[in-house]
Amino acid sequence: MNATQQLHELGQSLWLDNITRGLLTSGTLERYIRELSVTGLTSNPTIFEHAIGNSNFYDEAIREKSRSGKSGESLFFELALEDLTQAADLFRPVHDATGGIDGWVSLEVSPLLADDTAATIKAAAELHARAQRPNLFIKIPGTRAGIPAIEESIFAGVPVNVTLLFSREQYVAAAEAYMRGIERRMAAGLDLKVSSVASLFVSRWDVAVKDKAPEDLRNRLGIAIAMRTYTAYRDLLASPRWKKLAASGALPQRLLWASTGTKDPAASDTLYLEALAAPDTINTIPEKTLLAFADHGKAQHILPEEDDEAEALLVEFVRAGIDHAAFAIELQREGALAFAKSWSDLMDCIASKSAALAQNHPG
């Protein structure tokens, strides 16, 4: 049994943080499902920018859609939905076998909507309806404008992957939005089985403070924030409020570790997987990290439900002059801006490819 299978047995889902048409057409994703216990997949604007810009797998589809008058966001979402519905079908057996807990893929609303609640709600509903797959999450950022959009989307029956969470407080806000949506469905006599995950970004913390933290605290802040958030997650699942919803048939909003590829070349390439092994959670990882963990990772340490070490570590960071509460707000803002920049680059890439393909194959 390799390390990825050990995590699966522990109760942690491994999702691939990548999607390309090549992964689908080559059979590689099917192999990861079969051999490496991969049970889901996430995407974001940066992933699609790289997939479309750095390959010719999409050229024919772009050419055909451009000829039919499609461009920009409209063209992109057609490409993305083609990939993600195919991936969703590959994960459908897992989804069905787990009663909707696992086997998900994710598609993000336009990052340009991060500050627009009403437009986010509308886009989430439209994308979910277009996908026509029960195991496709719509990603909505856990920003100030995103929180009410999450509640409304859950109430409307749209499964949501809450993205861009960087702290316990941001996670709790997302979890409460999910529960409010479910509670409103209960009051309205609707089915409570509307799924959600809450994605906490980990490695970006350590990148942000690498030049500010003492050497003995290097690459430890992201894990400490994750440990603190995991305690809040377990506390929420044990709360009377959640138990009432669960008893009526609601599914838990699972905690997902995102941004878990190691950024520091001096650190272990499996650092965040080994540190964050925990039941009832998800770790979505880049392809390179997945293969490294399958090759030489170790699933030996299970994250405790409560950990005084995390709080002690956070005190050390405060003493070192690092205000993690302020950093969390800044990291979320920077993350939203980075996705918006990738979105702009993605639209430019599609436009330039469309023009080049039309010139090479006129008519």
pLDDT at 361: 64
pLDDT at 357: 84
Among the listed residues 65, 70, 139, 353, the single catalytic one is 139
Contact 213, 225 (CB under 8 A): no
Please report the DSSP string for 311-348 in residue order: HHHHHHHHHTT--HHHHHHHHHHHHHHHHHHHHHHHHH
Q: How many CA atoms lie within 13 A of 22 on its CB side?
A: 11
Does the annotation mark 212 as catalytic? no
Indicate the burial class of 325 (C-beta count within 10 angstroms; 0-12, 13-18, 19 or more): exposed
Q: Which domain holds residue 191?
A: 3-360
pLDDT at 359: 80
Contact 163, 108 (CB under 8 A): yes
Please report the DSSP string for 275-317 in residue order: HT--TTEEEEE-HHHHHHHHHH-----PPPSS-HHHHHHHHHH
Count how many domains the chain has: 1
What CATH number does the domain containing 302 carry? Answer: 3.20.20.70
Torsion from C-alpha of 266, 270, 274, 280, nearest 10 degrees: 140
Q: How far apart are CA 130 and CA 127, in angstroms?
A: 5
Q: Per-residue pLDDT for the chain (363 aa), expressed as one digit of tens each?
A: 789 999 999 999 999 999 999 999 999 999 999 999 999 999 998 999 999 988 999 999 999 999 999 999 999 999 999 999 999 999 999 999 999 999 999 999 999 999 999 999 999 999 999 999 999 999 999 999 999 999 999 999 999 999 999 999 999 999 999 999 999 999 999 999 999 999 999 999 999 999 898 999 999 999 999 999 999 999 999 999 999 999 999 999 999 999 999 999 999 999 999 999 999 999 999 999 999 999 999 988 888 887 788 999 999 999 999 999 999 999 999 999 999 999 999 999 999 999 888 887 655
Indicate the burial class of 78 (C-beta count within 10 angstroms; 0-12, 13-18, 19 or more): middle
pLDDT at 362: 56
